[in-house]
Amino acid sequence: MDTNSGTVAVQNAHAADGLIDRFFQVRAFSEKIVEPLSPEDCVIQSMDDASPIRWHLAHTTWFFETFLLKPSGDYRPFDERFEYLFNSYYNSVGEQYPRGKRGLISRPGLTETLDYRSHVDQAMRSLVEGHDLTDEERQVLEIGIHHEQQHQELMLTDLKHALSCNPLAPVYRDGACEDLDTAVGQSWLEFDPGVVRIGHDGDSFCFDNELPRHRVFLEPFQIADRCVTNREYLEFMEDGGYDRPELWLSLGWAAVKEHGWRSPLYWTKTGSRWSHFTLSGRKPIRLDQPVCHVSYFEADAYARWAGCRLATEAEWEHAVCCQLDDPFSATQRGNWSDELLRSGRCIHPKLSGTDSYCNPQSHYGGIDGDDSDQPPLADAMGNVWEWTSSHYSAYPGYHAPAGALGEYNGKFMCNVFVLKGGSCATPSGHARPTYRNFFAPESRWQFTGIRLARC
């Protein structure tokens, strides 16, 4: 026997076992998110950008069914009609039900949707137990796991938007939120000019849009060691920030006027007090928590008012990666949604310097660990998605993968901006500093915030 070949076979088997265990862990967390919800909660679509919870549950299931089970040749679909109903945007697979009408679909109901998930999960177990996964199948499985984690974040943010439309301000889950305001001073990290490398490297998972790793020249810059707070953003508002066109990009000013923006999404003023809607109901604004639910336009206008700017994607990634021992790993410490739910905390951004920036998989300790060793930019991962000034575009040498999965990222590289870092709605084990999220500049329903930079 070839010893090297035997070793590789054992490593591949262990990798497949680890992936399938992770598959079931991630699938279980999706259903954990749904536990407090009624069937009625799961059918609401509050805007075209959002989707019903039930659709997320079904679409993530459709992904494994479409790209792993059906190609295996020995699979009986739960319902052939679901191929059309739960296809999101994969034109290579076929036609899709209109995105903005997903809330009109009352059937399959929640029970049948969960049955669909169970059917596919059982078929996935049979697939991995029946034969050794090929390299391509392992790759698709891993993409599917991370795809479901993306939808777990969307489930929480879409649900928050839907519940916020209810004047009763319903509670998704009771959770303890920080009840103190502790001013945290802002300082600046300085970086010298030079050629740096950005993009993913190593053997751990990444999406195709994080590749290839390449060189970028950076001029000298400074980046703030924490995100902009509610207190600071209120100063912008009270200084007439939403009434001063000189602070805004032309399209941003048009959005302010069209939508009547006067504050971040979910904020309400009663008398002299501000509150905001959270997944744990309506809460008073805590002044020194990071501001969130702001659009790119608002982030850019605030930065201009503050005499600063937003960091470029390359600046942000270089600055954060410099602070980490293993910047390409998705086991970074952060304020991650699954950890927040397990600890009974509110899914909301936390103050810099609190004990919330922890992940038990990281070398910094658990969720109740000591933060005395936290590095600079410790809140950059898993608190708010941070707007950058960079348009989402292909890295030099990028090529979209062949086949339907080539539609996953590349075709969206137009009219959107890059966000970095992950948010409190992101599950652990998913994001890393090279991760490239992207949204339209007017988007506000994600947990999006602001970190300043300057020359």
Instruction: Encode the chain (455 residues) as per-residue pLDDT tens digits.
Output: 444 444 333 344 445 678 999 999 999 999 999 999 999 999 999 999 999 999 999 999 999 999 999 999 889 999 999 999 999 999 999 999 999 999 999 999 999 999 999 999 999 999 999 889 999 999 999 999 999 999 999 999 999 999 999 999 999 999 887 666 676 789 999 999 999 999 999 999 999 999 999 999 999 999 999 999 999 999 999 999 999 999 999 999 999 999 999 999 999 999 999 999 999 999 999 999 999 999 999 999 999 999 999 999 999 999 999 999 899 998 999 999 999 999 999 999 998 755 544 443 432 233 344 444 567 898 999 999 999 999 999 999 999 998 889 999 999 999 999 999 999 999 999 999 999 999 999 999 999 999 999 99
The C-alpha atoms of residue 109 and residue 96 are separated, in whole angstroms, by 19
Could you tell me which of 431, 423, 424, 450 has the C-alpha nearest to residue 175? 424
Radius of gyration of the chain (CA): 22
Q: How far apart, in Å, are the Cα atoms of 277 and each of 14, 84, 159, 330?
A: 44, 35, 12, 30
- Block residue for tokens 């004990």: 355
Q: How far apart, in Å, are the Cα atoms of 233 and each of 138, 285, 294, 345, 417?
A: 45, 12, 10, 24, 21
The C-alpha atoms of residue 166 and residue 174 are separated, in whole angstroms, by 17
CB within 8 Å of 88: residues ≥ 6 apart: 59, 96, 99
Report how far apart the first and last C-alpha atoms of the chain are (Å, whole number): 61
